[in-house]
Structure 1
Amino acid sequence: MTASTAPSRTTSSQTRRLAIGAGAGTSLEFFDFSIYTVASALVFPKVFFSGDTDPWFASFMSLATYTIGYVVAPLGAIVMGWVGDRYGRRRAMLITFYLMGAATVLMGLLPGYATIGVAAPFLLVLLRLVHGFSRGGELGGASVLAVEHAPPSRRAAFGAFVALGSPLGALLANLAFVLIFYLPQGAITSWGWRIPFIAGAVVLAIGVWARRALEESPVFHELAASRLDEKIVKIPIWNVIRDNWGRLLLAAGANTGLNGVMFVLAGFMLSYAAGPAPKGLGLDIQDVLWCTLPGLAIHAVTVVLGARLSDRLGRKPVMLAASVAVLAYMFALFPIARVGTLTAWALAIAVGFALTGFLFGPLITYLTELFTPEQRQSGAGLAYQIGAVLGGGLAPSMANRLIEWTGTSTSVGYYLAGGMALTVVCLLALPETAPVRTHR
Structure 2
Amino acid sequence: MPAERDDAIGQVTTETGTVVHITPKELRHIAAAAFVGTALEWYDYFLFGTAAAIVFNRLFFSALNPTAAVLAALATFGVGFAARPVGAFLFGIIGDRVGRRPTLIMTIIFIGTATGLIGVLPTYTDVGILAPSLLVLLRLFQGIAVGGEWGGATTIAIEHAPAKRRARYAALVQVGSPAGTLLSSGVFALVLLLPPEVFDAWGWRLAFLAAFPMLLVALWIRLKVEESPVFKELVRLDKRAKVPALDVFTKSWRRLIVAVAAAFLGVGGFYVMNTFVVSYVTNTLSGDRQIVVNATLIAAVVQIGVILLFGRVAEKIGPGRVTFWGGLATAVAAWPLFALIDTNSPVAITVAVALGIGLLTITYAVTGALLTELFPPEQRYSGVSLGYNIAGALSGFLPFLATWLINASGTTASWPAVVILVVISLITAVGGIVGERLRVKDQAIVFEG
Deviation, structure 1 residue 399: 1.9
1:9 aligns to what?
Answer: 21
Distance verdict in 2 for CA 1:358–1:127, change over 3 Å: same
Return the alpha-carbon distance in structure 2 between the equivalents of residues 7 and 193 of structure 1: 51
| Alpha carbons 1:306, 1:357 under 8 Å: kept | no
What are the within-5 Å matches in structure 2 for residues 45-64 of structure 1?
Answer: 45-49=57-61, 53-55=63-65, 60-64=71-75
1:236 maps to which of 217, 236, 244? 244
Quick check: 169-178 or 31-40, which moved more? Answer: 31-40
Deviation, structure 1 residue 295: 1.5
| 1:154-189 residue CA offsets vs partner (Å, 9 max, x unmatched) | 111111122111111011111111111111122111
Name the structure where helix makes up a greater proportion of residues. Answer: 1
1:42 aligns to what?
Answer: 54
Q: TM-score, normalised by structure 1?
A: 0.90
Deviation, structure 1 residue 54: 4.2
1:29 maps to which of 13, 26, 41? 41
Return the alpha-carbon distance in structure 1 between the equivalents of residues 340 and 53 of structure 2: 26
SS of the equivalent of 1:340 reads coil
What are the within-5 Å matches in structure 2 for residues 2-151 of structure 1?
Answer: 8-49=20-61, 53-55=63-65, 60-116=71-127, 118-151=129-162
1:424 maps to which of 422, 429, 442? 429
Gaps spanning 5+ residues in structure 1: where? none
Identity %: 35
| Alpha carbons 1:315, 1:433 under 8 Å: kept | no
Distance verdict in 2 for CA 1:187–1:401, change over 3 Å: same
Deviation, structure 1 residue 432: 5.2
1:400 aligns to what?
Answer: 403
1:322 aligns to what?
Answer: 326
2:253 aligns to what?
Answer: 245
Return the alpha-carbon distance in structure 2 between the equivalents of residues 336 and 109 of structure 1: 38
Return the alpha-carbon distance in structure 2 between the equivalents of residues 369 and 340 of structure 1: 43
Q: Does 1:433 align with 2:439?
A: yes
1:197 aligns to what?
Answer: 208
Q: Counterpart amino acid of 2:298?
A: P
Deviation, structure 1 residue 46: 4.5
Gaps spanning 5+ residues in structure 2: where? 1-13
SS of the equivalent of 1:183 reads coil
1:260 maps to which of 245, 259, 268? 268
2:10 aligns to what?
Answer: none
Distance verdict in 2 for CA 1:124–1:403, change over 3 Å: closer
SS of the equivalent of 2:439 reads coil
What are the within-5 Å matches in structure 2 for residues 303-322 of structure 1?
Answer: 303-322=307-326
Q: Does 1:213 align with 2:224?
A: yes
Return the alpha-carbon distance in structure 1 between the equivalents of residues 182 and 438 of structure 2: 32
2:198 aligns to what?
Answer: 187
CA root-mean-square deviation: 2.4
Q: TM-score, normalised by structure 2?
A: 0.88
| Alpha carbons 1:153, 1:435 under 8 Å: kept | no
What are the within-5 Å matches in structure 2 for residues 367-386 of structure 1?
Answer: 367-386=371-390
Quick check: 424-433 or 237-246, which moved more? Answer: 424-433
Q: Counterpart amino acid of 2:108?
A: F
Return the alpha-carbon distance in structure 2 between the equivalents of residues 54 and 329 of structure 1: 36
Return the alpha-carbon distance in structure 2 between the equivalents of residues 359 and 58 of structure 1: 33
SS of the equivalent of 1:9 reads strand
Aligned residue pairs total 425
Q: Counterpart amino acid of 2:439?
A: T
Deviation, structure 1 residue 195: 0.5
